[in-house]
Amino acid sequence: LLLKSQFEQALADRQFYLEYQPRVDLESGGIIGLEALIRWKHPTEGIVAPGEFITLAEEIGFIIPLGEWVLREVCSQMKHWQEQGIPAVRTSINVSAKQFNQASFVDKVQDILNEIGIGPSLLEFEITESALMGHAKPIIDDLKVFKDMGIFLSIDDFGTGYSSLQYLKLFDVDALKIDRAFIKDLPRDKLLAKMIISLARKLRLQVIAEGVETSAQHAWLLNSGCHEAQGFLYSKALPASDIEYLLKA
């Protein structure tokens, strides 16, 4: 059993770090954003992927301090790049539904932005459909505030949840990220990807393809009106130092 104190110790010992996966404009191929992804450099287990600890961190409430650390880390990184004259690009953070349950989440986000001196428009929150389920009311209220502040909002893993379409009515989001399950077999199996792109465009939402691995997928997406893409074809998630080179280039 992984105890909360072990997580806390790991955070204090700086065992968590972020990698950033580039998000590219399908038309120009240029980097127009980043997604921050957490990793845990465990002293005996090696690098632990978020899939192995985020759910547990949510269950025991550790996602609150951990999520705050991620936000602070991303803002500090962007500030650092700005100060070095490196062109800043919008960076998305995966926000867990549990983080919305704290009474002062909105204030905390505002405080961190003020403290570090980063504009909200550089920030994007990705919320999964499954996270939205059953937590709707407090999340809707907070998302409205974040949206008004100028933070970009997207639905992650779009198409894999149970009531995708209902969420589009409830939440005023800016973008949909098509889950890579719908990208994997492109262009052979294209019906659902096509429908999601068409839906997003009709709603005037930005649409992002996740998990793009082949140039055939890229070509189909470009042709089909998808705006943005992310995936191993362009780049895996990289440490900040590597991202810096890409942003300078």
Q: Which of 58, 126, 142, 228 binds Mn ion (CB under 5 A)?
A: 126
129 binding Na ion? (CB under 5 A): no
Of 131 and 243, nearer to Na ion (C-beta) is 131
Taking the complex as a whole, how short is the minimal distance between the CB of residue 85 and ligand G, in angstroms?
27
50 binding ligand G? (CB under 6 A): yes
156 binding Na ion? (CB under 5 A): yes
Restricted to residues 190-249, the positions that interact with Na ion (CB under 5 A) are 210
242 binding ligand G? (CB under 6 A): no
Stretch binding ligand G (CB under 6 A), from 45-53, 165-173, 187-195, 197-205: 45-53
Of 84 and 219, nearer to ligand G (C-beta) is 219
Binding mask 190-229 for ligand G (x = CB under 6 A): --------------------xxxx----------------
Q: Which of 24, 26, 31, 38 binds ligand G (CB under 6 A)?
A: 38
Restricted to residues 147-166, the positions that interact with ligand G (CB under 6 A) are 156-157
Instruction: Quote the CA–CA distance of 45 and 222 in Å, as a whole number.
Output: 41
Of 124 and 157, nearer to Na ion (C-beta) is 157
